[in-house]
Amino acid sequence: MSVCKRIVLITGSSRGIGAETAKGFAKERASLCITGLPSQKDELTEVAKVCKENGSPHVLEVAADLRKQEDMDLLMNATIKTFGQLDVLVNNAGIFMSVDLEGYTSEDFDKIFSVNVKAPIYLTKLAKPHLSKTKGNIVNMCSIARKNYAPNRLLYGMTKTSIAYLTKTTAADYAMDGIRCNAVCPSGIATQLFENSFSKEQAPFFLESSTATVRGRLLQTNEVSDLIRFLASDKATMITGELVNIDGGYLLSKHA
């Protein structure tokens, strides 16, 4: 399977890691389906423009709310109708909440699990018959939060623990179909999601704890994108079921 013929579907691709990943795949001349919320349509169009400039032969934009099953059906159907196949699914879309056990609400729980867990599970189910034909693979967005038990990370950490389990079980269940599944597990990342997730009072504490690494800084989106594209590439054909930390040694510094 040549790189130029790869079809890659990336959720949450209007900004942050998803946008950077799309731009990276575009440089490899992959055709792309990129997606974001309807309210992010302008941002999605800008990402598509850069991807085309970077060398992608075809970029499909689909506005979709991953909390809605019909939108996910539309997303997958549009991808297959347009390209006829799927080689890589990147389950990148996600949201963050800074809440503890006493502060969370039922609505908070439903919202974050719907986006961070339910959507990747359902899209993986939809993708299986197509990935089995191409012997493709899945890369999930996990986090070091799955094993870093910090204050106010209850719901977010629970969703990423679920993604870790999803990754392992998908890799085992789909191995006989020739489908690989791995996950990247970043520490704090310099994205708009980070900026929107913390108050001015919370941010300094999080930055201080997140920069206790060999580099002394937050991750950059391109560093995570590089890892995603490596795991999706033919260089990683014997890697499956792995949760790959990319944290500059943060977990080592915490003896986690």
Q: For residue range 74-98, list pLDDT tens digits in order.
A: 999 999 999 999 999 999 999 998 7
Residue 146 near residue 163, CB atoms below 8 Å: yes
Query: Nearest CA to 112 among 90, 134, 136, 96?
Result: 96
Q: How far is CA 175 from CA 108, 131, 161, 165, 196, in A?
A: 35, 11, 21, 15, 38
Q: Is 174 a catalytic residue?
A: no
The predicted-structure confidence for 178-195, as pLDDT tens digits, reads as follows 999 999 999 877 655 555
Q: Please name the fold of domain 3-253.
A: Rossmann fold (3.40.50)
* pLDDT tens-digit map of 129-159: 999 999 999 999 999 988 877 767 789 999 9
Q: How far apart are CA 162 and CA 138, in angstroms?
A: 16
* Model confidence, pTM: 0.89
Spatial distance between the Cα atoms of 220 and 21, rounded to a whole number of angstroms:
12
Domain boundaries, the chain: 3-253
Catalytic residue among 149, 156, 174, 250: 156
Q: Please give the torsion angle defined by the CA atoms of residues 187, 38, 51 and 16, in that order, rounded to the nearest 10 degrees.
A: -20
